[in-house]
Copies of this chain bind each other. A is one copy, B any other.
Amino acid sequence: MNKIYLALLSLGVSFSASAQSDTTMMRDIYKHALTHGQAYDDLRHLTKEIGNRIAGSPKAEQAVRWSESLMKALPFDRVYLQDVDVPYWDRGPAEKAILTESQEPLKVLALGGSVGTPKGGIEAEVIEVEYLSDLKKFGGDVYGKIVFVNKPWDESLVETGMAYGLNTSQRSRGPAEVAKLGGIAYLFRSLSSSTRDDYPHTGGTRYTQGIDSIPAMAISVVSAERLHDALQKNPKAKVFLEQQSGWKGIVPTHNVIAEWKGTEHPDQIITIGGHIDSWDVGEGAHDNGTGITGTLDAVRTLMKIGYKPKHTIRVVFYMNEENGVQGSMKYGEAAAENKETMIAAIESDAGGFAPRGFDIKASRQAVDWIQQQWKPLFEEQYWVSRFLQGSPGVDSGIWAAQFPNTVMFNFRPDPHRYFDLHHTEKDVFEAVDRRELQSGVAAIASLLYLVDSHIGEMPQ
């Protein structure tokens, strides 16, 4: 028996011992999260007692206070609110869109950030395109018209987030581009993964400084198809639009933060959380009620099974992800100002469906190491197997620029159903399955445990 063999043997033994304690720990985590976890009950309260909560609204502030009370009921070392000023956008009364010739109503929702129509609404002919770039062909004809961007969703992608990403820029920059050409309103085919969806999907849009803003609405897929058919029959068909949405000024509100002090490295911080605000339709259940109740329940799970973290675990519920990301900007600025050491971040903002894994913002070597060391702990028994290099969540991504070395994990639940209900009236508590949500809590708690226990071993 030579020395190298002995060295390997001792390495083997130490690895086994560590792997065994990880296995035992994860078994306890899964058992607790699936059997006694509380994310689902917390989510019921958030969705049914509070409801949707756009940043700056009284309900968003109610969600802040409720979250603070939830955190204060747990053995955190510190719970506090971080001041954030957000721009408050209000939809006003229900929007109207009517196909003039048949007086058929079209299902629409104002895009977040949109201005209203003049009082009494507007009526105009419609130019339909798939891409904003197609407007070039129409030259001066856009003037005085409603522009209708009717780009179908790419159904062939299992990764629905990619299909979404392919088309978000037409939602965000469309109205400003159309305004430049003299268009008077913007109708945008909803970013829905279902071809039979009659719910409009809202979402943010942005006006470029100095360009006149125009009213902008999302139209349901079914209504978009109807409008398309009407325009095929009669290219001069007109549409009537009315909405009274608009910005209502700056409102002071908060990020909600809780800290669980590390026993070995209290100055090294692992941030975990998601955004607390939602759009102003539905109940913000999958987007992002499951993200905040799930990450808090992951931390609660570690507390309940008696774990003591080495590093400080900081839960952050970011305000205003949906229409301004002021919360994560403020969080990053304050952390940079305080010269904090941010070793890792875990974010959940892709729904509460069955957990599939994590996208990881880290070096190739670190991701390879995670695939070798951690993936086998999850894969067979817990059905979690996706550990790929990828982007952080939106909120962590905001402060990633200030903390380029922070290893960031973006929770990835199953992507099939999310964009059926994303930003719609359908995003309600009933669309969440308890086992799927709690299984995600267990996966997140397991990752948090592994990060806290083994991040020192991870290659840079």
Q: Which residues of A contact B (CB under 8 A)?
A: 27, 30-31, 34-35, 155-160, 193-194, 196, 354, 356, 379-383, 385-386, 388, 414-417, 420, 433-436, 439, 442
**When the two chains form the complex, which single residue of B155, B354, B381, B442 contacts A354, counting CB atoms closer than 8 Å?**
B354
Chain B residues, CB < 8 A from A379: 385
Whether A156 pairs with B381 at a CB distance below 8 angstroms is no
Q: Do A433 and B414 form a contact, CB below 8 Å, given A155-B34, A158-B382, A385-B386?
A: no
Name which residue of chain B comes closest to A414, CB basis.
B354
Chain B residues, CB < 8 A from A31: 156
Whether B435 pairs with A417 at a CB distance below 8 angstroms is yes
Name which residue of chain B comes closest to A28, CB basis.
B156
Q: Do A416 and B436 form a contact, CB below 8 Å, given A156-B34, A354-B354, A356-B383?
A: yes
Chain B residues, CB < 8 A from A416: 354, 433, 435-436, 439
Bound CA span A156–B32, Å? 8
Bound CA span A194–B438, Å? 12
Whether B155 pairs with A383 at a CB distance below 8 angstroms is no
Whether A194 pairs with B434 at a CB distance below 8 angstroms is yes
A–B complex contacts, Cβ < 8 Å, 7 sampled = A34-B157, A35-B155, A158-B383, A354-B354, A356-B383, A416-B436, A420-B433
How many monomers of this chain does the complex have? 2
Name which residue of chain B comes closest to A418, CB basis.
B435
Whether B156 pairs with A35 at a CB distance below 8 angstroms is yes
Given contacts A159-B383, A380-B388, A417-B436, 20 further A-B contacts (CB under 8 A): A27-B156, A30-B156, A34-B155, A34-B158, A158-B381, A194-B434, A196-B434, A354-B354, A354-B414, A356-B383, A379-B385, A383-B414, A383-B415, A385-B385, A385-B386, A416-B435, A416-B436, A416-B439, A417-B433, A417-B435
Report A171 CB to chain B, min CB distance, Å.
21
Bound CA span A159–B157, Å? 27
**When the two chains form the complex, which single residue of B27, B159, B160 contacts A381, counting CB atoms closer than 8 Å?**
B159
Chain B residues, CB < 8 A from A442: 158
Report A422 CB to chain B, min CB distance, Å.
13
Chain B residues, CB < 8 A from A381: 158-159
Report A411 CB to chain B, min CB distance, Å.
15
Bound CA span A379–B379, Å? 13
Whether B414 pairs with A158 at a CB distance below 8 angstroms is no
Bound CA span A194–B27, Å? 20
Bound CA span A258–B157, Å? 30
Report A350 CB to chain B, min CB distance, Å.
13
Bound CA span A156–B442, Å? 10
Bound CA span A194–B40, Å? 13
Report A374 CB to chain B, min CB distance, Å.
15
Chain B residues, CB < 8 A from A439: 158, 416
Chain B residues, CB < 8 A from A433: 416-417, 420
Report A225 CB to chain B, min CB distance, Å.
15
Chain B residues, CB < 8 A from A420: 433, 435
Counting chain B CB atoms within 10 Å of each CB, which of A155, A385, A415, A420 scores highest? A155
Report A453 CB to chain B, min CB distance, Å.
21
Bound CA span A435–B434, Å? 20
Whether B193 pairs with A435 at a CB distance below 8 angstroms is yes
Chain B residues, CB < 8 A from A414: 354, 383, 414
Chain B residues, CB < 8 A from A27: 156
Chain B residues, CB < 8 A from A160: 435
Q: Do A383 and B383 form a contact, CB below 8 Å, given A34-B155, A354-B414?
A: no
